[in-house]
Amino acid sequence: MFVRTPDRALDATDLIARYDAHAPRYTSYPTAAQFTADVDAATWGDWLEAAPTQPAISLYLHIPFCKRLCWYCGCNTRAMNRVAVMDSYIDLLLAEADLVLARMGRRVRVGSIHLGGGTPNMLPPEALERLFAGLAARFDLSDCFEIAAELDPEVLTEDWVRAAGRIGLTRASLGVQDLSPQVQAAVNRPESFETIRWAAGALRDQGVVSVNLDLMYGLPLQTVEHVVTTLGQVTTLKPERIALFGYAHVPWMKPHQKLIRDADLPGAQARFVQSQAAARYLTGKGWRAIGLDHFALPHDSLAAAQRAGRLRRNFQGYTTDEAPVLIGLGASSISRTPQGYVQNLAQEREWRAAVGQGRLPIARGVALSPQDHFTAELIERLMCDFRVDVTAVARRHSRDMAGVGEVWPRLAAFQADGLVDVEAGRVDVTPQGRPFVRAVCAAFDPGARDFHQRHARVV
């Protein structure tokens, strides 16, 4: 690999000052912030009719219910424990599936199912089994190789875990964030290590082969010691995956985050130190760094995908899912076909009304142009591999390299500061540049000028 000596040696403080701007997490391109109402239910219906069903599609089901509202949360959810409300939501999820399948007009094979939220284990066990019986009656699940769910250990029960075993749950993500009582109190998320240990063991006993723990840095009152102490506890559980997300403080978008005092939040330098200390700890204990913020044991499928150059990125983060079609069901869920992305109505009441009236509950979306497909692959490879051969990608998309001519001047500052190496159309993000890869990706994004206050900061 060509290595260029930077024009000047910059320490982390200098780099943060220079590159800690607002930028997307690039779980898609174009990003959800670029969706518009120009793409509507009629558009989605046309895309469904033309959607390929080979290979098998993926399903995402959004469950917008939680036991309590965590103040750091950026998800579409609400505190709810009324069984009747959750039962009627299941009915409407299946009704939405009927609307989708009516437009697709053929039997559809499903390769993977992901339950997100919210807290899917807020559903009563019998409701969970009824949901999956309904899916099995509508879709061909005979080749479904993965069923995953995001779970709150504090809400998990033995009955729910047994029901999860009966539906064939294979992967579970347990929300941990931080185990310090001080930090937990600052974000309204009390949780004990014993609860997490019980949850991981119970799920494995029911056939879950991959346990993921979701952790965060940059939380109010959080220090490096809190992060490392939490890691010291949870790594004893040998989770196959660990996701380490930086807290995104966006109170202008999520008003409940105003309950977190700005004065309690670590600054950019402290956040950077926390993330780097965590990465060193985990890689030192045998987990492989996966992309920007995931870690996996070498035997896990995520690590295997990285080794094979087949790591992907979607709205759930880093993934092995290569399906070209994703059908999202439920309030706020996002779907994808080769033609573009759509998002359901985010307000649960509006989503319920639309499905109840027999309408596809689409709020907005974006159609993908050939240029978008090209840019999306460039950004995804940078996010997943920290390198991209722009010339090779352009050739696959029959694009003229002149179309990316404006990118090279944007990368000049990154190269001068030692964050990227550029040679013969290939861009390599250096180890020093990896924490700033979102900023590097933004150099390829024509909409970068509109990022201010629409996305969290890079560090």
Residue 418 near residue 436 (C-beta atoms within 8 A): no
pLDDT at residue 402, as a whole number? 76
Residue 272 is encoded by which pair of tokens? 């950077």
8 Å CB contact between 196 and 155: no
Region of residue 73 (phi > 0: left; psi between -120 and 50: alpha; otherwise: beta): beta
pLDDT at 331: 98
pLDDT at 452: 55
Domains within the chain, CATH numbers bracketed? 12-25+369-450 (1.10.10.920), 32-337+357-365 (3.80.30.20)
Tally of CA atoms within 13 A in the half-sphere of 107 that contains its CB: 6
Omega within 30 of 0 (cis) for the link into 55 = yes
Q: Which two tokens stand for residue 17?
A: 């000052």
pTM, full prediction: 0.93
- What six digits make up the tokens of 391? 């010339």
Q: So what's the pLDDT on residue 404?
A: 83
Cα separation, 56 vs 60, whole angstroms? 13
How many angstroms separate the most distant Cα atoms in the chain? 64
Phi, psi for residue 295 in degrees, rounded to 5: -140, 145
| pLDDT for 4 | 44
Q: Within 13 Å, how many C-alpha atoms sit on residue 115's CB side? A: 29
Q: Return the pLDDT at 252.
A: 86
Mean pLDDT (10-residue bins), the chain, 459 residues = 46 88 90 94 98 95 94 89 95 98 96 96 97 98 96 97 98 97 96 98 98 97 98 98 94 90 95 96 98 96 96 94 96 98 97 98 97 96 97 93 84 94 95 95 83 67
CA distance 149 to 164: 9
Instruction: State how far the Cα of 155 lies from the Cα of 333, in Å rounded to an integer.
Output: 23
Q: At what angle do helices 83-104 and 41-50 cross, to 10 degrees?
A: 60
